[in-house]
């Protein structure tokens, strides 16, 4: 099977086919060539590319950008040694990189959310008639944050708000959808907290701080972008494994890029 044929098969299983112009496209390499294996990852970091090469995977499906900007533009990187070395590695190992971002974020729960909800044990708590809302047994914000940290394997989570305030309904927004989207959900009267991957520090967390200062009980749990979506790409890898049984399919976790000093 050629890589472009595999791409078409995968897109055929998406909820709908999106028009060109978004994130999802071949980022590097010739999709008209054959393949020996598929690696699915949150982000095609240099370390992930090396592990893919060692595993014999030459078709890399990555959720997030390879070239450090949302649409993988490279014109601004001319002459950059890090970009040059990474591209040279991809070429030397015959790898083809395809971005799969927009298509797996269609609907509720989308494919990323399905994997993360499963990892958290919250599949049954996702409200089918309210997008991105999870209903939990009432528990303190600190307990929800501790559960997220343990189940997602995060070294740390960041929490804003009253740690003892009860959480019943949670806005579930893995990744980085932006402060406005987070606040649109958090402002709903029956939503107690937001779970997300990342958030600008002058947006949602400051709204939460002001709400608490005024006697409100809003909260925010930030798990880190990779930590919040990694399980989603593991879920996607399992789907691809069933869709394309002709070649081996591996999930290669990217891991949290940060170190934490204590």
Asked whether residue 94 falls in the same domain as residue 122, the answer is: no
- The answer as to whether 245 is a domain residue is no
Asked whether residue 128 falls in the same domain as residue 220, the answer is: yes
- The answer as to whether 246 is a domain residue is no
Helix (H) or strand (E) holding 185: helix 179-186
- The answer as to whether 133 is a domain residue is yes
Asked whether residue 16 falls in the same domain as residue 118, the answer is: no
168-203 per-position pLDDT tens digit? 999 999 999 999 999 999 999 999 999 999 999 999
Asked whether residue 87 falls in the same domain as residue 162, the answer is: no
Contact of 54 with 75, CB cutoff 8 Å: no
Phi-psi domain of 132 (left: phi exceeds 0; alpha: psi -120 through 50; beta: other): left
Domain boundary among 105, 126, 153: 105
Asked whether residue 100 falls in the same domain as residue 124, the answer is: no
The tally of domains found in the chain comes to 2
206-226 per-position pLDDT tens digit? 999 999 999 989 999 999 999
Cis preceding linkage at 109, omega within 30: yes
Asked whether residue 68 falls in the same domain as residue 36, the answer is: yes
CA distances from 78 to 23, 74, 136, 229 (A): 21, 7, 49, 30
Asked whether residue 221 falls in the same domain as residue 125, the answer is: yes
262 pLDDT exceeds 90?
no
121-146 per-position pLDDT tens digit? 999 999 999 999 999 999 999 999 99
Domain that holds residue 159: 111-225
Burial class (CB in 10 A: 0-12, 13-18, 19+), 191: buried
Residues 6+ apart with CB under 8 A from 10: 61, 100, 240, 243, 244
83-128 per-position pLDDT tens digit? 999 999 999 999 999 999 999 999 999 999 999 999 999 999 999 9
Contact of 27 with 62, CB cutoff 8 Å: yes
What whole-number percentage of the chain has pLDDT above 70?
Answer: 100
Sheet strands side by side (includes 158-161): 133-140, 166-173, 193-196, 219-222, 158-161
Domain boundary among 73, 105, 137: 105
Q: How many CB atoms lie within 10 A of CB 260?
A: 8
Asked whether residue 221 falls in the same domain as residue 120, the answer is: yes
Name the token pair of 71: 């649409």
Mean pLDDT of 59-63: 98
- The answer as to whether 166 is a domain residue is yes
- Given CA atoms 230, 236, 242, 247 in this order, what sign does their dihedral have? negative
Asked whether residue 35 falls in the same domain as residue 135, the answer is: no
Question: Is the pTM for the entire model greater than 0.85?
Answer: yes
Q: Which of 159, 134, 135 is nearest to 222 (CA)?
A: 159
Domain boundary among 105, 136, 161: 105
CA distances from 180 to 6, 171, 205, 208 (A): 36, 13, 12, 13
Mean pLDDT of 11-23: 96
Give phi and psi for 162, each to the nearest 5.
-75, 115
């Amino acid at each position: 099977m050629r890589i472009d044929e595999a791409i078409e098969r995968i897109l055929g299983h998406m909820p709908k086919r999106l028009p060109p112009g978004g994130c999802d496209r071949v980022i590097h390499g010739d999709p008209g060539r054959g393949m020996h294996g598929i690696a699915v990852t949150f982000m095609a970091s240099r370390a992930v590319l090396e592990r893919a090469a060692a595993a014999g995977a030459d078709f890399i499906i990555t959720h997030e950008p390879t070239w450090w900007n949302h649409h993988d533009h490279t014109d601004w990187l001319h002459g950059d040694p890090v970009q040059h070395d990474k591209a040279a590695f991809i070429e030397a190992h015959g790898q083809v990189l395809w971005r799969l971002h927009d298509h797996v974020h269609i609907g509720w729960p989308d494919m990323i959310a399905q994997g993360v909800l499963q990892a958290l044990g919250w599949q049954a708590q996702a409200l089918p008639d309210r997008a991105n809302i999870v209903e939990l047994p009432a528990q303190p914000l600190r307990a929800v944050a501790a559960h997220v940290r343990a189940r997602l394997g995060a070294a740390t989570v960041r929490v804003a708000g009253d740690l003892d305030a009860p959480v019943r309904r949670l806005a579930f927004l893995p990744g980085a959808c932006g402060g406005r989207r987070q606040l649109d959900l958090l402002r709903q009267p029956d939503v107690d907290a937001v779970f997300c991957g990342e958030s600008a520090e002058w947006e949602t967390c400051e709204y939460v701080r002001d709400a608490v200062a005024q006697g409100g009980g809003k909260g925010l749990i930030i798990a880190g972008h990779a930590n919040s979506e990694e399980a989603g790409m593991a879920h996607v890898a399992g789907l691809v494994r069933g869709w394309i049984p002709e070649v081996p399919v591996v999930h290669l976790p990217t891991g949290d890029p940060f170190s934490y000093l204590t």
